[in-house]
């Protein structure tokens, strides 16, 4: 089952624009992680945000977490063609035994040069 | 520091055969988990090992099994392969008893014919 739902499913923007994608989840979490996946390849870890954090930054990435709304957003600023990929959120539920991540369906981002 | 290493990268097998996939986690990481990614089902958790013990198991048939060695390296085995087992199999490793950043390998693309 998928705990996270991502919105939108697909996004097409021009190089230089910002890209925002959202992730909603259903149960209380310990942390939420965002990943990037280029076609058919492995997942690249972007950022982890813990349940007691509201915002984190890493380079051109900004992640927010609203535990009251059970949602997170990933903002990519000044996008580049190389940012074209699928982006996934993954949650670690607070009652999870061990390290079982539950993934959303992903957002496909196309950055046009 | 080397990342998560999965071997082989690509594999073609015939229905009914068995297959073993290998994963070497990041040095010092003791939590290793496995995921299956298909276009239809997305990313699904298979199982997780920590200090050679299976700590968590997803909803997959008994044909899917795994193990972890004392050096934290892990293998997963799929017996009696079915066409539906064709997928990208991803291994991930994590420190902090599984509550920290989780990093993925490049995956093994398994095709069952």
Q: For B52-90, what is each residue's pLDDT tens digit?
A: 999 889 999 999 999 999 999 999 999 999 999 999 999
The three-point CA angle B41-B98-A109 to 5° equals 40
Prior bond of B83 cis (ω within 30°): no
Q: What digits encode the pLDDT tens for the residues B5-48?
A: 999 999 999 999 999 999 999 999 999 999 999 998 999 999 99
E-strand ranges in chain B read 5-7, 10-13, 19-24, 31-38, 42-50, 53-57, 64-68, 74-78, 87-94, 102-104, 108-112
3-state SS string over A29-92?
EEEEEEEEECCCCCEEEEEEEECCCCEEEECCEEEEEECCCCEEEEEECCCCHHHCEEEEEEEE
Picking from B6, B56, B101, the nearest residue to A100 by CB comes out as: B56
Chain B residues whose beta carbon lies within 8 Å of the beta carbon of residue A102: 45
Nearest C-alpha in B relative to A33: B101
Q: What is the pLDDT of residue A1?
A: 43
Give the pLDDT band of residue B96 (cuts 50, 70, 90): low
Q: What is the pLDDT of residue A5?
A: 83
A90–chain B Cβ distance below 8 A for any pair: yes
Indicate if the pLDDT at residue B102 is higher than 70: yes
Instruction: Show the low-confidence residues of chain A (pLDDT under 70).
Output: 1-4, 94-96
Q: How many CB pairs under 8 A join A and B?
A: 71
Indicate if the pLDDT at residue B99 is higher than 90: no
Q: What is the pLDDT of residue B1?
A: 67
Indicate if the pLDDT at residue B109 is higher than 60: yes
Cβ contact, residue pair A102, B45, below 8 Å: yes
* Rounded CA separation B67/B55 (Å): 11
Q: Buried b / exposed e across A96-111, counting CB within 10 Å, b at 16+?
A: bebbbbbbbbbbbbeb
Indicate if the pLDDT at residue B100 is higher than 60: yes
Please report where in the chains the tokens 């003791």 appear, as a residue: B30
* Rounded CA separation A88/B18 (Å): 30
């Amino acid at each position: 089952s998928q705990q996270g739902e991502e919105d939108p499913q697909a996004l097409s923007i021009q190089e230089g624009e910002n890209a925002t994608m959202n992730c909603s989840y259903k149960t209380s979490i310990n942390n939420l992680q965002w990943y990037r996946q280029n076609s058919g390849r492995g997942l690249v870890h972007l950022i982890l945000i813990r349940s007691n954090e509201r915002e984190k930054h890493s380079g051109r990435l900004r992640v927010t977490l609203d535990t009251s709304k059970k949602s997170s957003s990933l903002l990519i600023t000044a996008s580049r063609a190389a940012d074209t990929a699928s982006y996934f959120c993954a949650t670690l539920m607070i009652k999870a035994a061990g390290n079982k991540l539950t993934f959303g369906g992903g957002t496909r981002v196309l950055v046009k040069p | 520091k080397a990342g998560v290493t999965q071997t082989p990268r690509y594999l073609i097998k015939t229905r009914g055969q068995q297959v073993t996939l290998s994963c070497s986690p990041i040095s010092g990481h003791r939590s290793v988990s496995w995921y299956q990614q298909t276009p239809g089902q997305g990313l699904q958790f298979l199982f997780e090992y920590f200090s050679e013990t299976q700590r968590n198991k997803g909803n997959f048939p008994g044909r899917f099994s795994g193990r972890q060695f004392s050096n934290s390296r892990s293998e997963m085995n799929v017996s009696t392969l079915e066409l539906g087992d064709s997928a990208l199999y991803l291994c991930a490793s994590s420190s902090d008893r599984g509550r920290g950043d989780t990093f993925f390998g490049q995956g093994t693309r398994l095709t069952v014919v």
